[in-house]
Amino acid sequence: MKARNLRRLCILAAAFGLSAAPGLSKVDKLPFGQAGGMPVDLYVLTNPSGMTAKIMTYGATLTELDTPDRSGKLGDVVLGFGNLDGYLAKEPFFGATVGRVGNRIAKGVFTLGGHTYHLATNDGPNHLHGGVRGFDKVVWSAQVVPADAPTVRFTYMSRDGEEGYPGNLTVAVVFTLTPSNELRLDYTVTTDKDTPANVTNHSYFNLGGAENGDILGHVLTLNADRFTPVDSTLIPTGELRPVAGTPMDFRTPTRIGEHLAAVGGTPVGYDHNFVANSGGGEMAPIATVYDPKSGRVMEASTTEPGVQFYTGNFLDGTLTGKKGVVYRQYWGLCLETQHFPDSVNHPNFPSYVIRAGDTYRSTTVYKFSAR
């Protein structure tokens, strides 16, 4: 069979949620339970090399990501649960699409167009990841997109006034698993009123597999000469500070645990926004993570101006995830590509306010390999 016909077979299989032949891309759709009386589906994306990404419609959440290690053995590199119940209970946004505004807004207050808006304060004194019922806690619509690579488009309409935000906002996230072992996320956001929006993915990565320990031995490189210092409640002070001479300096490959104690905080660890050297707007590399034990490498590129690096400081051993693994402190790391925290209250930060009638687009790619 010619390659062109094989590709057509793959596209047709994806369009109808069917499995393609071995070695081909495919998309499978499986039932995954109910949330609030609504059915939740799980989409399984597989590329020709066998890499697999599983995304469910509840929260447009990445529940599993299987990538090969240096010996070619596939392993799951994201934290999460094996069933929907774990996600319906209190959990720290494992793999979720978060918004309307990801990250924090100081005291849950901002002013836009002469009007002051008050949001839920669900993280101490501050607003976090869209509020009490953010994008992570709703059921999204989903559609398989016929393409050369397995692709699923997730959409959600956030109504005017939802969680206190102005405007009817429509958001789409397209997940694509490429033949070159890239997980690509394309975001599109539109609104009929001026509103802040900062949508991102909140996956916790452990390139060694969560069953094999913490991420402190992972080696991180960040293309960021500056970061945004924070106060005791993790709200940026407004300063853009050079990383040179601080525990925030990952401009050269550095073991994550090397300077962890010097970071401080309660609990101790990284939960900071780094300013992309690219400035955002165009696709550019932002981070590389390497696990010496498994050999896995993750390279993150984005059009966003920043990335929130978080080391799972608040994981405390009370959650048991896939394979019966207890998720303890530092068991996963997040690289949330996004605009800076509390940007709506800092005129010197890149703005994430979307104007009525405008369309905001953003792309992030996580590329996996091994050495």
The predicted-structure confidence for 25-64, as pLDDT tens digits, reads as follows 899 999 999 999 999 999 999 999 999 999 999 999 999 9
Q: Who contacts 28 (Cβ-Cβ below 8 Å, separation ≥6)? A: 17, 18, 19, 43, 44, 46
H helix or E strand, kind and range, residue 370: strand 359-370
Which tens digit of pLDDT belongs to each residue from 103-142? Answer: 999 999 999 999 999 999 999 999 999 999 999 999 999 9
pTM: 0.93
Q: How many Å apart are CA 346 and CA 353, to the nearest integer?
A: 12
User: Which sequence positions are flagged as catalytic?
Assistant: 202, 336
Q: Which pLDDT value is given to residue 34?
A: 97
Burial 273-309 (b: 16+ CB within 10 A, else e): bbbbebebeeeebbbbbbbeebbbbbbbbbbbbbbbb
pLDDT at 7 (0 to 100):
44
> Going by C-beta distance under 8 Å and a sequence separation of 6 or more, which residues neighbour residue 182?
176, 365, 366, 367, 368
Q: How far apart are CA 324 and CA 86, in angstroms?
A: 12
Mean per-residue pLDDT, 92-108: 98
CA angle (229 as vertex; 225, 231 as ends), nearest 5: 175
Q: What are the DSSP calls for 80-138, one per residue?
A: --SSHHHHHSS---TT-EE-SB-SEEGGGEEEETTEEEE----BTTBEETTSTT-GGGS
In contact, 181 and 45? CB cutoff 8 Å: no
State pLDDT tens for residues 277-332.
999 999 999 999 999 999 999 999 999 999 999 999 999 999 999 999 999 999 99
Q: Which residue in 247, 254, 238, 332 sits closest to 292, CA to CA?
A: 254
Q: Which residues pair with 254 in a beta bridge?
A: 220
Q: How would residue 24 be classed by pLDDT, with cut points 50, 70 and 90? A: confident
How many other C-beta atoms can be found within 10 angstroms of the C-beta atom of residue 233?
A: 12
Comparing CA positions, the residue from 334, 345, 343 lying closest to residue 312 is 334
Q: Is 38 left (phi over 0), alpha (psi -120 to 50) or beta?
A: beta
Q: What are the angstrom distances between the C-alpha of 112 and each of 117, 133, 192, 328?
A: 8, 22, 14, 40
